[in-house]
Structure 1
Amino acid sequence: MDLDPGTLRIDLLDGPGVRAAADGLGALLADAVRDGASVGFLAPLGDAEAAGWWRDAAAQAEAGVRTVWAAHGAGGALLGAVTLVRATAPNQRHRGDIAKLLVHTSARGRGLGRALLAAAEEGAAGLGLTLLVLDTETGSPAEHLYRSAGWARAGTIPGYAADPAGRPRPTTYYYKTLA
């Protein structure tokens, strides 16, 4: 898949946009789970089940709780996505969670995850959020990305979430304060 900066585009998807892209987003999510990413699902995860999750996420986008960015390469190929979930409690409306940072296995290691993370951070700041949090499987390749992008490690919880094979793994939480 082409990651040429001249053809790479990161789009903000509204609720109908997420619904329209659900099949492609589902294939992206299923690809991540097949590759061992701990993103809330157990293997095997079929494309249809994953697309159903995105259709549910579309309703959250329509309600203004979840924001989704999708990265497309040459010819419109869906290469990655990231979501921002805003906290809704009155005393937490200054913060959000980065979730489902997904990069297709064929596009990894070329800066797309960093570009998606930056888009989400910029979008969050534009919404007036001042604090972001995220969690990732301890020891995963994503940890390097988050640390190098200025995220601070808050701590690790042993056995917090199962990997796609169902084995409990430690999870590390990160946070970032936005200007």
Structure 2
Amino acid sequence: MTDSVTIRRVDANEAAACVEALADVLIDCVEGGASVSFMLPISRTTALAFWRNVAEGVARGERALLIAEDPGGDIVGTVQLITAQPENQPHRADVAKMLVHRKARRRGVAHALMSELDRIARQEKKSVLVLDTVTGGDAERLYLRAGWQRVGSVPNYALMPDGTFCGTTFFCKQL
């Protein structure tokens, strides 16, 4: 399963160098129907701008960026830990943009990314993690299996890439 995928945290320079490959993953996920803040058709310009902004956030120390690489060195997945929080929440972090390219799904990549994310969160002294995902989607099952607690859902919270409404479920995890 994940023996063929390497999960690692990238620094600011690597994040900037990965922008093109990360854009490929984002575009694939949106084109595959993932509700991850982007609408169809997603342009390469939009995807590149998003990942450049993420790389700048890594450089500012506001987030950790993890990537999953296949044996050929291609990026097939990613997730972020947003560590920059308000002054009264230094112990908390948000999990964002858990993305796995369709060609790498059902191989344990997402689970491996989330396990490494937990390790990095502990290293960063974060004890409460939060995230949201499409209600009823595959990711809900992943998060439940990974020890996350469902805290509630909001109907019609966001849009799917095709413009239809979708509910959003919120999760937390105590480390």
- 1:158 and 1:150 map into 2 onto residues whose CA distance is 23
Q: Provide, for residues 52-72 of structure 1, a one-character-per-residue CA deviation record: whole Å limited to 9, x for no partner.
A: 210011111111111100010
CA distance in 2, matches of 1:16, 1:4: 26
CA distance in 2, matches of 1:8, 1:35: 21
Cα distance between partner residues in 1 of 2:167 and 2:118: 25
**Counterpart in the other structure of 1:117:** 114
Q: Specify the SS of the correspondent of 1:76.
A: coil
Matched-pair contact (CA < 8 Å) for 1:161–1:171:
yes
Q: Give the counterpart letter for 2:67 in structure 1.
A: A
Residue in structure 2 matching 1:141, options 113, 116, 138: 138
2:91 is the counterpart of 1:91: no
SS at match of 1:31: helix
Q: How many correspondences in the alignment?
A: 175
- Residues of 2 paired with 1:122 and 1:14: CA distance? 16
User: Considering only aligned residues, what root-mean-square deviation do their CA atoms show, in Å?
Assistant: 1.1
Q: Distance in 1 between matches of 2:162 and 2:30?
A: 9
Q: Is the 8 A contact 1:23 1:48 kept in 2?
A: no
Unaligned runs of 5+ in 1: none
- Deviations along 1:105-158, one digit per CA (max 9) or x if unpaired, are 011011100000111111011100000000000011100000011100000011
Identical counterparts, % of pairs: 39
- Contact 1:23–1:47 (Cα < 8 Å) also in 2: no
TM-score by length of 2: 0.96
Q: Deviating runs (4+, > 6 A) in structure 1? A: none
Query: What does residue 76 of structure 2 align with?
Result: 79
Residue 4 of structure 1: how far off its partner (Å):
5.6
Q: Is 2:31 the counterpart of 1:31?
A: no
> Offset of 1:88 from its aligned partner?
2.2
